[in-house]
Amino acid sequence: MESYVNEFINYLAVERGLAQNTLESYGRDLRQFHTFLQNSQLDFIRNSNRETILSYLNNLQMKGRAVSTISRNLAAIKSFYQYLVRERHIDKDPAVNLESPKLEKKLPKILTIAEVEELLKQPNSLQPTGLRDKAMLELLYATGIRVSELINLNISDVNLDMGYIKCYGKGAKERIVPLGSIAAKCVQEYINKGRSKLVRTYEEPSLFVNHHGNRLTRQGFWKIIKKYAMEANITKEITPHTLRHSFATHLLENGADLRSVQEMLGHADISTTQIYTHVTKNHLKEVYDKTHPRA
């Protein structure tokens, strides 16, 4: 099965242009499925049937895996078997007509404007790393890009004179996102005074680098934002996407139209963007309850 999985992952990368994180998730999920089959003394071709797959999904549920994780596993398995049928490695698709479990739509956690401002004040701009962190946080809140898109930015992707950045989202889709003047100023200051002290070679293309002069990782950024949230006394749960969610919600609260926000976020389907309208409605209800004399 390993060779088929590698072949499939290569197909997803080359033919469908899926992001590296997605490729890694699919590969990991399929290898876990293979391990389950081996432990059950089953073969992924001879014993491939609806019951086998349902048994695996039930096993994940018994282990306490989240609905989103089970749904992602099923998506990987279904895509894998569809590929095997198309390439004529197997005759029938055992995963056909299997439906993903219903996902509970969770409203994204956001920060208030005051909390965002407090978070953005935390980096020490007298240090190269502080200049970098300030630029990253300002850039995330100004553009709403994903953390993976942030850390993959190169110097050449930023046009500070024109006020935009070029990034590559899911499926390696390129999009142009406008950049506010404050964020542009912070990025320029980082490039002029901070980045030059962190990089080890002039050939390094990465915009944001770590202490070793290499491209900053997602895990590295995760530690950074948690540190500043703690220093800002923000008790809400912070995730790498918190500023992205806050960006979208604050735009909608201030009158931005849904289509524009969808384009800036890089959502393929507007239904993904619509979840932020529920957040703004909740916010309006809170404001009403706190301020109306007869609420």
- Same domain, residue pair 82 and 127: no
Q: Is residue 17 part of a domain?
A: yes
Q: What is the pLDDT of residue 106?
A: 66
Distance in angstroms (rounded) separating the CA atoms of residues 118 and 1: 51
Q: What is the pLDDT of residue 54?
A: 86
CATH code at position 31? 1.10.150.130
Q: What is the pLDDT of residue 180?
A: 86
Instruction: Name residues whose C-beta falls within 8 Å of residue 116's C-beta, 6 or more positions apart in sequence.
Output: 141, 243, 246, 250
Pairing of strands 158-159, 164-168: antiparallel
Q: What is the pLDDT of residue 279?
A: 60
276 catalytic, yes or no?
Answer: yes
241 catalytic, yes or no?
Answer: yes
Q: What is the pLDDT of residue 285?
A: 61
Domain that holds residue 144: 113-290
Domain count for the chain, please give it: 2
> Are 182 and 138 in contact, with CB atoms under 8 Å apart?
yes
- Same domain, residue pair 17 and 159: no
- Same domain, residue pair 158 and 278: yes
Residues of the chain below pLDDT 50: 295
Q: Is residue 93 part of a domain?
A: no
168 catalytic, yes or no?
Answer: no
Among the listed residues 72, 132, 134, 146, the single catalytic one is: 146
- Same domain, residue pair 127 and 191: yes
Q: What is the pLDDT of residue 286?
A: 62
- Same domain, residue pair 67 and 164: no
CATH code at position 276? 1.10.443.10
Q: Is residue 108 part of a domain?
A: no
Q: What is the pLDDT of residue 294?
A: 54
- Cα angle value 250/252/257 (rounded, 5°): 145
Among the listed residues 78, 244, 245, 250, the single catalytic one is: 244
Distance in angstroms (rounded) separating the CA atoms of residues 127 and 131: 6
- Same domain, residue pair 132 and 249: yes
- Same domain, residue pair 139 and 272: yes
- Same domain, residue pair 78 and 133: no
281 catalytic, yes or no?
Answer: no
Q: Which of 138, 151, 240 is nearest to 186 (CA)?
A: 138
Q: Is residue 100 part of a domain?
A: no
- Same domain, residue pair 194 and 128: yes
pTM exceeds 0.85 for this model: no
Q: What is the pLDDT of residue 43?
A: 73
- Same domain, residue pair 196 and 283: yes
267 catalytic, yes or no?
Answer: yes
200 catalytic, yes or no?
Answer: no
Among the listed residues 166, 170, 175, 193, the single catalytic one is: 170
Q: What is the pLDDT of residue 107?
A: 66
Q: What is the pLDDT of residue 290?
A: 66
